[in-house]
Amino acid sequence: MSKVYPVDPAFAAKARIRKADYEKLYAESVKDPEGFWGRIAERLEWAKKPTRIRDVSYDPQNLHIRWYDDGQLNVSANCLDRHLATRGDKTAIIFEGDDPSESRRISYRELHAEVCKFANTLKHLGVKKGDRVAIYMPMIPEAAVAMLACARIGAVHSVVFGGFSPDSLAGRIADSTAKMVITADEGVRGGKRIPLKANVDAALERPGTNSVETVVVVRRTGSAVPMQSPRDRYYHVLMEGQSAECPAEPVEAEHPLFILYTSGSTGKPKGVLHTSGGYLVYASLTHEWVFDVREDDVYWCTADVGWVTGHSYVVYGPLANGATTVMFDGVPNYPDFSRFWQVVDKHRVTLFYTAPTAIRALMREGEGPVKKCSRASLRLLGSVGEPINPEAWEWYHRVVGDERCPIVDTWWQTETGGILITPLAGAIDTKPGSATLPFFGIKPAVVDAGGAVLEGPAEGNLLITDSWPGQMRTVYGDHQRFIDTYFKAYPGSYFTGDGVRRDEDGYYWITGRVDDVINVSGHRIGTAEVESALVAHPKVAEAAVVGCPHEIKGQGIYAYVTLVAGEQGSEELRKELVAWVRKEIGPIATPDYIQWAPGLPKTRSGKIMRRILRKIGENQPDQLGDISTLADPAVVKNLVDERLIR
Ligand code: WT7
């Protein structure tokens, strides 16, 4: 029996949602989704109020997902203009730089002016409604300005995480045929410089990227970077003399807001497309209710804007709610392991949202770095990105939260736009390691491999059987891939790619991905991507990649590599391949283990049997299961004998 942490009555007394509200509202939301989501949509300001609430079909023959589709709104007006009358002087963004001496507060009025100026700049540079704009930036306010300025004129942003390589950036630019790239001269993380502009230059030399007409460069470090005329323009120069007024253009609710690339089990990353109305309704509602946001809260989500968490819970959700959101451009261990808590004290953070990998890394340093800061302002803690192990949950609760702050373990995905399974701190008792119960309007189901729906306590694959407004609408440029990936395996439902267990109280426990996706430090890496990076190396004949247990990252990357004839595995070659993958994809794809494999286990038809490789990588050689279908069962013995984790 797992431990239960009951709702704190003091928290519940003031909470937005309490137990009785949850039960009543949840029942209502799934019984009458139109009524529920129609009412909730009123939280936004619409240029034209929607009357058609939902138009959804999960039928693969006719798949479409539309919410509020006769409505019109502007996302940036909802995040900015709407607050000016009541919150003009309220801080919208607290920026905290990598260097602890650098921070700044930006009010809603200032942010509005900056976004208007940059929206005018975009127009001046020829960016039009529907054009794609790539954003490759550090965690500086200008990243949010760029996103909101795109939204203001109906341009579609595609934020690419600053840790991705030039090749990864080039692939995303090419796939979305971006017209512009917005970047900075350099980033700074943990005291180290990241050559963002140089990476953009390199990316734009790759084939398929000549859609880019302009590169806008924000001065971050001030280092001299080569500027190509007329392509490259400095942000601060362009902004001079721009008007601080730019009417927000109302767009249809289903107008695309952004594309965000994410890894799948096969092929190249998919461009997950989110649209305007439904996305903002869902991001703002979940932000307000899950974090129990109040007018005077200081909310800090440590995610980078390069990930969906940064989109929904650093920028769009908080700003739509008129909240104060912290943007942190640093790392948890710089200048020391106390940094998070120093920032909490410095800015009096009340709501704090981070990832299990960060918690585990901090946990390893002991309580000292936490306890030397007060953290008295904190009142709620959140977790996202991967299953949080109960030990880390308990530590987060006891050491960081002083047993005073409820924890919300929020399960969701890039595809879902916002949180789907989560506790509500005033309503739902928590169990360490469980994301608990569905949010309003979310209907999870547990199925077995054959698709039979399991009732009661059960373990299987996690489906969501009906749509919600924040759901992705398509894979950019490849609607068939959208259908095939999410709606083919279990017709009539959205397939999450996650395994799950539902306990006797109806609580959900996510068990991890059931596809060939590895969750490294809360970030998705497709095994296929790492494999294709490895085989691109001249000395590699073949590679197979699986996830393995990793103390800090949750999952690590375990690669089996077959070298071309005549090559020998060595420590130097291992280092060379690690560096190669980092260069090809980015540091997040760094292989943790490379095992030299004279052969890989394959079926007679030549398919690599990853199930076996996964078990070897997990040091469970006695659980390989049936290997009789292998073309050459002898290769397994060698791999088991030479395994790197034991
Ligand atoms: C995958 C989605 C959604 C924001 C960050 C990751 C895993 C995410 C949890 C959680 C257990 C979780 C799932 C999911 N995941 N949050 N609270 N408990 N697992 O977004 O890169 O799209 O990855 O992350 O496996 O499918 P993402």
User: For position 149, what pLDDT does the model report?
Assistant: 99
Nearest to 470 by CA among 282, 257, 301, 635: 282
Probe ligand 1: pick from 161, 263, 519, max atoms within 8 Å of CB?
A: 519
Please enumerate, as own/partner, the contacts of 579-583 that have beta carbons within 8 Å and a separation of 24 or more: 580/533, 580/534, 580/536, 580/537, 581/530, 581/533, 581/534, 582/165, 583/165, 583/167
Q: Is 392 in the pocket of ligand 1 (CB under 6 A)?
A: no
By most ligand atoms within 8 Å of CB, the mutation choice from 287, 412, 421 for ligand 1 is: 412
Give the pLDDT mean for 474-485.
98
Q: Ligand 1, atom 19: nearest CA belongs to which residue?
A: 386
In this predicted structure, the answer to whether residue 2 has a pLDDT above a threshold of 90 is no
What share of the chain has pLDDT > 70, as a percent?
100
pLDDT at 646 over 70: yes
pLDDT higher than 80, residue 1: no
Using CA positions, which residue lies closest to atom 1 of ligand 1?
413
Rounded to the nearest whole angstrom, what is the distance from the C-alpha of residue 384 to the centroid of ligand 1?
7
* CB 211 near ligand 1, within 6 Å: no
* Cβ-proximal residues to 194 (8 Å cutoff; 6+ apart), any chain: 138, 162, 163, 186, 187, 188
Residue bearing the CA closest to ligand 1, atom 16? 385
ipTM of the complex, rounded to two decimals? 0.99
Alpha helices in 75-124 (DSSP H): 75-79, 81-87, 108-124
Q: What is the spatial distance between Cα 113 and Cα 321, in angstroms, rounded to a whole number?
A: 18
* Nearest protein Cα to ligand 1, atom 12: 386
AA letter at 368: G
End-to-end Cα separation, the chain, in angstroms: 29
Return the pLDDT at 403: 98
Burial of 126 (0-12, 13-18, 19+ CB in 10 A): exposed
414 annotated as a binding-site residue: yes
pLDDT tens digits along 528-573 = 999 999 999 999 999 999 999 999 999 999 999 999 999 999 999 9
Q: How far is the CA of 309 from the centre of ligand 1 (A)?
A: 10
Residue 14 binned pLDDT confidence (cut-offs 50, 70, 90):
very high
Instruction: Locate 341 and state its tokens.
Output: 């808590």
Q: Is the CB of 515 under 6 A from ligand 1?
A: no
Q: Is the pLDDT of residue 633 over 90?
A: no
For residue 40, the CA-to-ligand 1 centroid distance in Å is: 25
Q: What are phi and psi of 508, to 5 degrees?
A: -100, 135
The model's pLDDT over 181-226, given as tens digits with 9 standing for 90+, comes to 999 999 999 999 999 999 999 999 999 999 999 999 999 999 999 9
Confidence class for position 264, pLDDT limits 50, 70, 90: confident
pLDDT band at 626 (very low <50, low <70, confident <90, very high): confident
Instruction: Work out which ligand 1 atom sits closest to the CA atom of 523.
Output: 21
Q: What pLDDT shows up at residue 238?
A: 98
Average pLDDT over residues 587-598: 97
- Closest residue by Cα to atom 18, ligand 1, is 387
Residue 606 has pLDDT above 80, yes or no: yes
**pLDDT number for residue 319:** 99
Q: Is a pLDDT exceeding 70 seen at residue 455?
A: yes
Q: Is 386 in the pocket of ligand 1 (CB under 6 A)?
A: yes
Average pLDDT score, the chain: 97
Question: Residue 385: CB within 6 Å of ligand 1?
Answer: yes
537 known member of a binding site: yes
CB-CB contact of 502 with 446 (8 Å): yes
Positive or negative, the CA dihedral 97, 578, 175, 526 is: negative
Establish whether 56 is an annotated binding residue: no
User: Is 191 marked as binding a ligand?
Assistant: yes
pLDDT band at 631 (very low <50, low <70, confident <90, very high): confident
Q: What is the pLDDT of residue 202?
A: 98
The residue among 256, 226, 131 whose CA lies nearest residue 181 is 131
Query: What would the two tokens of residue 70 be?
Result: 């006769």
Q: Which amino acid is at 495?
A: F
101 Cα to the center of ligand 1, angstroms? 33
Residue 638 labelled as part of a binding site:
no
Residue 523 Cα, ligand 1 centroid: separation in angstroms? 8
Give the pTM.
Answer: 0.97
- Give CA separation, 341 vs 141, 348, 376, 461, in Å: 21, 10, 10, 37
Token pair 């929020």 is found at 410
Do the beta carbons of residue 44 and residue 470 sit within 8 Å?
no
Burial 147-173 (b: 16+ CB within 10 A, else e): bbbbbbbbbbbbbbbbbbbbbbbbbbb
Decide the pairing of beta strands 554-563 and 540-550: antiparallel
Q: Give the containing element (helix H, strand E) for 141.
A: helix 141-153
User: Which residues, listed in sequence order, are joined to residue 32 by a DSSP beta bridge?
Assistant: none
What is the torsional sign of CA 356, 358, 361, 365? Answer: negative
Q: Is 497 in the pocket of ligand 1 (CB under 6 A)?
A: yes
pLDDT digits (tens, 9 = 90+) for 484-506: 999 999 999 999 999 999 999 99
Name the DSSP letter for residue 400.
I
